[in-house]
Amino acid sequence: MIEGFDGERPTHHRWALARRSISRPDQIAYYLAYASVGTCVDRLVRVAGRRWAIEECFQAAKNECGLDQYEVRGYVGWMRHVTLAMLAHAFLATTAAQAAAKGDAEAVPPWFRSPWQKSAGSWQLAPHTGTARHFASMR
């Protein structure tokens, strides 16, 4: 932890968090954080853990909605493209969630079936379900 000073008293801390994989102890992920004084380590760990869900969302939007398929020359065009792609992704995710809530598992595309399952108050990665095989057969 490195402290940041604004005058004589520290106002923020810079943190370097390291996370080791349970299944592969040799793999370590690093996170840099900048938080106000008084922020506890538990909160930093929770926020860093949410990063995975956000990255999954962006990857799904790239794969299914063309988020990364823009050819624009300016900020306004780029912002319009990103906004429409994320809106399309939100629509597809909502539709899939509604189909899953109704129990219609066949209507939910495999790429919207999350590999994460909640168990006893924590999220765990479910066993491989063959989604990669499904993608390979689609191409």
* The two structure tokens encoding residue 49: 């853990």
Domain hosting residue 110, numbered range = 50-115
Domains of the chain: total: 2
**The model's pTM:** 0.51
Query: Cα(119)–Cα(21) distance, rounded to whole angstroms?
Result: 19
122 domain residue, yes or no: no
Res 118 pLDDT > 80: no
Using an 8 Å Cβ cutoff, are 15 and 35 in contact? Answer: yes
Burial of 103 (0-12, 13-18, 19+ CB in 10 A): exposed
Give the pLDDT confidence score for residue 131 in this predicted structure. 45
Largest Cα–Cα separation, the chain:
62
68-105 pLDDT, tens digit per residue, is: 888 888 999 999 999 999 999 989 888 888 887 777 65
Res 134 pLDDT > 60: no
125 domain residue, yes or no: no
Give the pLDDT confidence score for residue 123 in this predicted structure. 60
Give the pLDDT confidence score for residue 4 in this predicted structure. 53
Q: Is 121 helix (H, G, I), strand (E, B) or coil?
A: coil
